[in-house]
Amino acid sequence: MRVEELVGERIRSRREGLEMTQEQLGRKLGELLGHEWSRQAVSAAEKGKRGFTAAELVAIAFALETSVGNLLTPNPNMEGVELPRGAVLPRDAVIATVLPRLSAEKTLSDMLETLDRLHQDFSVILQGLDLAADEMKLLREQLIIAAQVANTRDVYYGQDQPAGATQDQPIVAAIVTSDRGVLVGRRNDGTPPWTFIAGEQDAVKDENPADTAIREVKEETGLRIVAGEVIGERDHPKTGRHMIYLAAKPTHGTEIFVNDEQELAEVRWVSLAEADELLPGMFEPVREHLERELGGTDR
C-alpha cells in the first residue's frame, strides 16, 4: 500500500468514527489552512489520490482529534508501506519511525520540559487551543504514565501476544467527573442496570485505553473528554473480563445525551451517594477516586 493510501484510509476511518461528513472535515480544514477543502478534495485524499504537505497532515490530525503518528501507522494486516519511488518499508520499520517507544528517561524528561515551557505561556495556549487548566495537568500525567508503562512492560505494536494471554480485549471504563458529579448510564439490557461508560478496546484500530475511553464516551453520550491516569485494573468478578478504569474530565462543557439508543436508555451526572446506590459493589479504587474528586459521603 502506498503511503498516501495509508493516510487516506486512516483519515476515512477516523472521520467516520467521529460521525463527521466529508463536507464538515473540509470546512474544519479551511479554518486551519485558510482554504476550505471541497467534498471532492476530501474524497480524493481518502482514496490516496493526493499527497500531503506537513502542514496539511498537522491540520488533518487536529481536525480529526488524533495525531500525525496515528495517521501514518499501518494497520495490522499491512505488510509494508510503499514510498513514492517504489521503496517499501516493512510495517515494523514504519511503526518504529512514527511511534517511538517511551523507554528512555531522557525522552520523558524532554517531554516534561516542553510541557513546562508551554505552561509558562499558558494564556497564549488558552486563546489558541481553548484548553482548560486541568487538561494540561492531565496531559502531563498521561506522559508520565506512558513512560512508566514503557519502562516496566514490553508493550510494542505488532509484537506477538505472550503465551497464555487471553484473546479478549480489555474493557475500558471511563470515570468521568465534573462539578456536576460522575457520569453514568442506564443500560437497555439491564446487565447491570447502571454502569460507567465503558467499551472494549479496539485491537483493529490499535487503540490504547485512553483512545477507547474518549471514543466510547463521545459515541454513547456526545461528551468530549480528556483521559487521565489509570485508577485501577482487575478481572471483573462476574464476567471475568479484564477491566481498566481511567480517570477523565470533560473538555467542552458538560451537556450529555443518549447518543447510542441501542445500548443506553439514559445518561446522567450523579453524586457519590447516588453512584453508591445505582452501582452497588463499586470497585474500591474507583470509589476512593470519586471520594477525592466529588467529596466523601456516608456509606
The verdict on 218 and 115 lying in the same domain is no
Cα four-point dihedral sign 182, 204, 229, 66: negative
The verdict on 117 and 30 lying in the same domain is no
The verdict on 93 and 109 lying in the same domain is no
Q: What are the backbone angles phi and psi of residue 264, rounded to the nearest 5°?
A: -115, 145
The verdict on 144 and 214 lying in the same domain is no
Number of domains in the chain: 3
The residue out of 56, 74, 98 marking a domain boundary is 98
The verdict on 180 and 283 lying in the same domain is yes
The DSSP line for 146-180 is HHHHHHHS---TTPPPPTT--SSPPEEEEEEEETT
**What is the pLDDT at residue 117?**
66
Angstrom distance (rounded) from CA 175 to CA 291: 12
**What is the pLDDT at residue 147?**
56
H or E element at residue 123? helix 122-129
Cα distances from 264 to residues 140, 185, 225, 290, in angstroms, run 33, 6, 19, 23
In a domain, 299, yes or no: no
For the chain, the average pLDDT equals 80
In a domain, 158, yes or no: no
Q: Find the angle CA(297)-CA(197)-CA(276) to the nearest 5 degrees.
A: 20
Beta strands in the chain (DSSP E): 80-82, 88-90, 171-178, 181-187, 194-195, 197-200, 225-235, 242-250, 264-270
**What is the pLDDT at residue 246?**
94
* Greater model confidence, 295 or 271: 271
pLDDT, tens digit (0-9, with 9 covering 90-100), for 71-117: 887 766 677 777 777 777 786 776 667 655 544 455 566 666 666 66
The verdict on 181 and 287 lying in the same domain is yes
**What is the pLDDT at residue 279?**
93
The verdict on 214 and 148 lying in the same domain is no
The verdict on 22 and 115 lying in the same domain is no
pLDDT band of residue 221 (cuts 50, 70, 90) is very high
In a domain, 175, yes or no: yes
In a domain, 157, yes or no: no
pLDDT, tens digit (0-9, with 9 covering 90-100), for 165-192: 344 789 999 999 999 999 999 998 888 8
**What is the pLDDT at residue 232?**
93
**Nearest Cα to 197, choosing from 208, 206, 185, 209?**
185
Domain span including residue 132: 105-152
In a domain, 33, yes or no: yes
**What is the pLDDT at residue 160?**
39
pLDDT, tens digit (0-9, with 9 covering 90-100), for 19-68: 899 999 999 999 999 899 999 999 999 998 888 898 999 999 999 998 88
The verdict on 44 and 117 lying in the same domain is no
pLDDT, tens digit (0-9, with 9 covering 90-100), for 187-220: 988 888 999 999 998 877 767 889 999 999 999 9
**What is the pLDDT at residue 29?**
92
